[in-house]
């Protein structure tokens, strides 16, 4: 009998069970994505901004393969939750959304990373995708593409209100207006939006960060005035990411752009837990144990002997490594003796005869695997090869001892965003509750082998 430390899967059909069995044969780890959680997170964000009639729309940010959750299923779940916009950084993902079946009748799509010379603005304009411009070569390239296609480009003017990344600075804005105004008058471009991004919206408790966000908002409004004076007032403005959507009602404007909230996390654990915001983490990452064996006290574990077993014990191999996106910085050290260092690695929930236990990566994370010191006899604990362990899940409350991606982020000295986006696509993504969340048309768009 194998034990399971992850939540039971809500299979929707016999085919779902067969898909799961096939995934287990293909790879010893699975990322299971709960589309209902994602839909509900979006519905909650939409309700927070006042609902569909509030004058504030919500964009599901699905860049980077929907933060590693899978582009198309996540986009469809966001739409099912009431998003009326989708956003991607890279143009090819925006085009993919249209090619995969999300037409302009369903939602607007905005894409924003480009260089003025190579991005296929012509294809984007033809596919009814809104584009951001934030540089003079960008304006020239968009205008040339719109003329070539014979259709106006829907443009969002990106302004640098203080983030220091993309967009026109206040000093450079006159030159931008000098190009934008005649193009808008001629009908080559349509000025749809004005937008910007916040640097520290996730720290509402740090006064100097609140002040710097206030300053960004003021600068943002000055840009709006300059556009109005120039005769190209934006139809909509947008500035708020998840953090601002949750905590700054005054700057939601006509559109909010939450990303991490859709996937069920708060942007910074300093803001609290996902549950504090009625968000539910959508992904759980599980794996099936490889070799489980007994070793003696003082046994070196993994490269560099950074972990020496403190006692006679059993170890278990988790078949995930840095080639899967498990951060090597989440390695666990325990050096006995003079050089004693004790740094716990990333957490793993393991089911034993006595219930769940939380273990930590012992020693260095390898390319395809890492090791757990079970701190006891595997035979007595009832832990065996083939058992399913859970690296992170929704964090079902203290008594469950269930780690979240925030816990892995702490162990790896990073943020939850990087934990998901690093997960390689060789780990199967499997979708739970698809039939409950999506209508028949949308279900048909998804890879049937990915549905549970
Ligand atoms: C990623 C991103 C967002 C979403 O940020 P979250 O912190 O995930 O909510 C919004 N806007 C832009 C421009 C982004 O790049």
Q: What per-residue confidence (pLDDT) applies to 118?
A: 82
67 is catalytic: no
Which sign does the torsion angle of CA 189, 192, 194, 197 carry?
A: negative
Q: What is the pLDDT at residue 337?
A: 65
Q: Does 423 sit in the ligand 1 pocket, CB within 6 Å?
A: no
Is the distance from CB of 194 to CB of 167 less than 8 angstroms? Answer: no
Measured distance CA(233)–CA(237) in Å, rounded: 10
Q: 381 near 353, Cβ under 8 Å? A: yes
| Predicted local confidence at residue 411, as pLDDT | 96
Binding residues for substrate: 165, 367
> 152-171: per-residue pLDDT in tens?
999 999 999 888 888 999 99
C-alpha 259/C-alpha 140 separation (Å) is 30
- pLDDT reported for residue 340: 67
What CATH class is the domain 283-427?
A: mainly beta
Q: Which atom of ligand 1 is nearest to the CA of 201?
A: 7
- Where do you find CATH 2.40.37.10 in the chain? 283-427
Residue 285 has pLDDT above 80, yes or no: yes
Q: Does residue 134 have its Cβ closer than 6 Å to ligand 1?
A: no
Would you place residue 146 in the very low, low, confident or very high pLDDT band (cuts 50, 70, 90)?
very high
| Ligand 1 close to Cβ of residue 259 (< 6 A) | yes
Task: Encode the chain in three state secondary structure.
Answer: CCCECCCCCCCCCHHHHHHHHHHHHHCCEEEEEEHHHHHHHHHHHHHHCCCCCCCCEEEEECHHHHHCCCHHHHHHHHHHCCCCEEEEEEHHHHHHHHHCCCCCCCCEEEEEECCCCCCCHHHHHHCCCEEEECCHHHHHHHHHHHHHHCCCEEEEEEECCCCCCCCECCCCHHHHHHHHHHHHHHCCEEEEEEECCCCCCCCCCCHHHHHHHHHHHHHHHHHHHHHHHCCCCCCEEEEECHHHHHHCHHHCCCEECCCCCCCCCCCCHHHCCHHHHCCCCCEEEEEECCCEEEECCCCEECHHHCEECCCCEEEEEECCCHHHCCCHHHCEEECCCCCCCEECCCEEEEEECCEEEEEEEEECCCCCCEEEECCCCHHHHCCCCCCEEEEECCCCCHHHCCCCHHHHHHHHCCCHHHHHHCCCCCCCEEEECHHHHCCHHHHHHCCHHHEC
Rounded Cα gap, residues 12 and 446, in angstroms:
15
Domain 35-265 top-level CATH class: alpha beta
Token look-up 């085919």 returns 15
Task: Tell me if residue 63 is catalytic.
Answer: yes
Relative to the CA of 242, which ligand 1 atom is closest?
A: 9
Ligand 1 neighbour 197 (Cβ under 6 A): yes
Q: Which atom of ligand 1 is nearest to the CA of 417?
A: 8
Tell me how far the alpha carbon of residue 100 lies from the centroid of ligand 1, in angstroms. Answer: 23
Summarised one tens digit per residue, pLDDT across range 7-45 is: 899 999 999 999 999 999 999 999 999 999 999 999 999
Identify the residue whose C-alpha is closest to ligand 1 atom 12. Answer: 197
Q: Which of 36, 63, 158, 280 is catalytic?
A: 63
Is 61 near ligand 1, meaning CB less than 6 Å away? yes
Which has more confidence, 126 or 269? 126
291 touches 317 (CB < 8 A):
yes
Q: How far is the CA of 132 from the centre of ligand 1 (A)?
A: 14
User: Tokens at residue 20, please?
Assistant: 């799961």
Q: Which of 17, 148, 185, 303 is catalytic?
A: 303
- The answer to whether the CB of 242 is under 6 A from ligand 1 is yes
pLDDT tens for 234-275 read 999 999 999 999 988 899 999 999 999 999 998 888 888 888
pLDDT digits (tens, 9 = 90+) for 66-113: 999 999 999 999 999 999 999 999 999 999 999 999 999 999 999 998
Pocket perturbation via mutation, ligand 1, pick of 48, 197, 270, 282 by most ligand atoms within 8 A of CB: 197
Q: Return binding residues.
A: 165, 367
pLDDT band, residue 338 (cuts 50/70/90): low
Q: How far is the CA of 61 from the centre of ligand 1 (A)?
A: 7
Q: Residue 339's pLDDT is what?
A: 66
Reported as a pLDDT band with limits 50, 70 and 90, residue 359 is very high
pTM: 0.95
Q: Is the Cβ atom of 267 under 6 angstroms away from ligand 1?
A: yes
């Amino acid at each position: 009998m194998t034990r399971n430390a992850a939540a039971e899967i809500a299979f929707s059909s016999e085919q779902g069970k067969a898909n799961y069995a096939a995934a287990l044969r293909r790879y010893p780890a699975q990322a299971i994505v709960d589309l209902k959680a994602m839909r509900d997170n979006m519905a909650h964000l939409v309700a927070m901004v006042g609902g569909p009639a509030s004058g504030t729309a919500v964009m599901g940010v699905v860049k980077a393969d929907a933060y590693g959750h899978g582009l198309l299923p996540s986009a469809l779940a966001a739409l099912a939750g009431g998003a009326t916009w989708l956003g991607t950084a890279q143009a090819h993902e925006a085009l993919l959304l249209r090619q995969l079946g999300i037409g302009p009748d369903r939602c607007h799509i905005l894409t924003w990373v480009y260089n003025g010379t190579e991005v296929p603005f012509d294809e984007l304009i033809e596919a009814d995708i809104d584009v951001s411009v934030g540089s003079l070569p960008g304006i020239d390239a968009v205008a040339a593409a719109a003329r070539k296609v014979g259709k106006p480009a829907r443009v969002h003017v990106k302004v640098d209100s203080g983030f220091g990344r993309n967009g026109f600075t206040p000093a450079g804005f006159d030159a931008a207006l000098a190009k934008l105004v005649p193009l808008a008058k001629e009908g080559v471009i349509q000025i749809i939006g004005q937008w910007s991004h916040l640097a520290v919206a996730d720290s509402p408790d740090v006064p100097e960060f609140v002040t710097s966000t206030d300053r960004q908002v003021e600068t943002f409004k000055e840009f709006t005035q300059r556009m109005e004076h120039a005769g190209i007032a934006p139809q909509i403005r947008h500035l708020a990411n998840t953090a601002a959507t949750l905590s700054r009602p005054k700057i939601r404007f006509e559109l909010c752009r939450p990303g991490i909230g859709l996937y069920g996390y708060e942007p910074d654990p300093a803001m609290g837990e996902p549950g504090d915001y009625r968000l539910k983490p959508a992904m759980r990452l599980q794996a099936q144990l490889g070799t489980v064996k007994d070793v003696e006290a003082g046994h070196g574990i993994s490269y560099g002997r950074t972990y020496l077993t403190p006692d006679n014990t059993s170890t278990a191999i988790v078949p995930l490594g840095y080639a899967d996106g498990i951060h090597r910085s989440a390695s666990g050290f325990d050096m006995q003796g003079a050089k004693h260092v004790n740094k716990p690695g990333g957490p793993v929930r393991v089911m034993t005869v006595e219930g769940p236990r939380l273990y930590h990566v012992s020693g260095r994370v390898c390319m395809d695997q890492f090791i757990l010191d079970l701190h006891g006899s595997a035979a007595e604990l009832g832990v065996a090869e083939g058992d399913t362990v859970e690296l992170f899940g929704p964090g079902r409350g203290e008594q469950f001892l269930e780690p979240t991606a925030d816990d892995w982020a702490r162990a790896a000295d990073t943020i939850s965003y990087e934990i998901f986006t690093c997960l390689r696509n060789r780990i199967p993504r499997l979708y739970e509750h698809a039939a409950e969340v999506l209508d028949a048309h949308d279900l048909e768009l998804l890879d049937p082998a990915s549905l549970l």
